Amino acid sequence: MGKKSLTKSTTNTKKNAAAKKKATTKKTSSKKPSLKTLRKKKFETWSPEVPYAPPPDPNREKNFSAPELTGDYDPAEAEKIRTLLFRQIDLSAPEPEKEPEKTGKKQPIEGKGPGDPHKGRKQPPEPPGPPGGGNWEPPISRGMLGLIITLVIVFALLIGTSVNNMGNYYLKQTNTGLEIWRGEFAPNRKEKIVTLRGVKAPEPIKDQYTREEALALAFDYFMEKADEIAETQDLPNLGVIRDNLEKAKKYAVTEKQKQLANRRLDRIDFLVLLYRADVAAQKQTRQGYETALKVLEQAKKLELTEDARQTLQLRINRIQKELEGLTQETPHTGDSK
């Protein structure tokens, strides 16, 4: 019995102590709000329920008098201030300005004289000067400005050099032949435009050539190749000759070179058209003769020499005569077989 009661009392004592500790902890925690709660909490302005009012003093109101305005001045200055305060000024009709007297006395400053109609008016403010007073500086430093100017000059020189390089031509001798190079839009870059096989560069080779000097070599090369094919072969290949003449025309610079290449091309076209007309006329049919005449009409549009035009007209007359003879032989039939 004694042990059980002692155990119970000890247990109850511990429970009560723990309960008191928890209650104390809750009270303590409730007394210390967090910073977040304090930031959100609003504190109203305090004001008393009954505002304070001083007790009325009837004697003070009866005996009250305003302090004298000019009490701190001497009598002469006080009289001057009273005169100015009670003076009436009519701004609608300003007094005419008096001519300054020719004496050594100083003239009153405008806006400060006793009879000045503009007295009391504010003078217009002076316009603001540059920022920083008289020592104004640009928004960027002088060193940066000098660097920008230097870069602009360098870029201008590079562009000018690149443009000039586009008009320069160069010759390069190789084992294959002579190469012609042209400058690109860059100070030191160039591209190869043609290789003339078996050709030697004119001596001495210069550092650079003009467009006329360099392309004249290519024009002469292809014109000579066309002449060589026409002279060495019994039946020249007109297609190969025409290809070389077209290349020569591509590198023609002067008007004389262009006209020479065009005449040679027209001569080739003339021979081809004559050949086509002869092939059509050899069929000895109405359709063949008409086709031959159409081909010869195309030849009239070419730039021909006087001898070539006479040859063309004779060919047209002969085919027309043959076509008339064929029509007389078969008057009641269509095209002959």
CA torsion 13-14-15-21 (nearest 10°) is 110
Dihedrals phi, psi of 196, to nearest 5 degrees: -100, 105
Q: Is the pLDDT of residue 8 over 60?
A: no
Domain range list for the chain: 211-329
Q: Which of 142-151, 209-218, 323-332 has the lowest mean pLDDT?
A: 323-332
User: In Å, what is the CA distance from 177 to each residue of 18, 82, 168, 207?
Assistant: 113, 117, 20, 18
The mean pLDDT of 123-134, rounded to a whole number, is: 59
- DSSP 8-state secondary structure symbol assigned to residue 70: T
Q: Does residue 322 have a pLDDT over 70? A: yes
Query: Residues 225-238: pLDDT tens digits?
Result: 888 887 776 667 78
- Cα 16 from chain centroid? 88
Q: Which residue has the tokens 């190749």?
A: 225
pLDDT in the model for residue 22: 59
- CA within 13 Å, CB half, 247: 19
pLDDT at 99: 63
pLDDT tens across 145-191, in order?
777 888 888 777 767 666 666 668 888 888 888 888 887 666 667 77
pLDDT for res 334 = 47
Please tell me the distance from the alpha carbon of residue 83 to that of residue 77, in angstroms, as a whole number.
10
95 and 106 Cβ atoms separated by less than 8 Å: no
pLDDT in tens, 29-42: 456 778 888 888 88
Distance between start and end Cα atoms, the chain: 155
**Percentage of the residues of the chain whose pLDDT score is greater than 70:** 68
- Tens-place pLDDT, residues 244-292: 899 898 888 888 988 888 888 888 888 888 888 888 888 888 888 888 8
- Among 18-22, 54-58, 267-271, the minimum mean pLDDT is found in 18-22
Long-range own/partner contacts, residues 59-64 (CB < 8 A, 24 or more apart): none
Asked if 229 and 244 count as a contact pair (C-beta separation under 8 A), the reply is yes
Are 303 and 263 in contact by the 8 Å Cβ rule? The answer is yes
* Whether residue 130 has pLDDT greater than 60: no
| Alpha-carbon distances, residue 269 vs 18, 68, 128 (angstroms) | 125, 126, 85
pTM value is: 0.46
Query: Which helix (H) or strand (E) element contains residue 213?
Result: helix 211-232
Is residue 35 packed enough to be buried (19+ CB in 10 Å), middle (13-18) or exposed (0-12)?
exposed
Query: Between these two residues, 124 and 288, which has the higher pLDDT value?
Result: 288
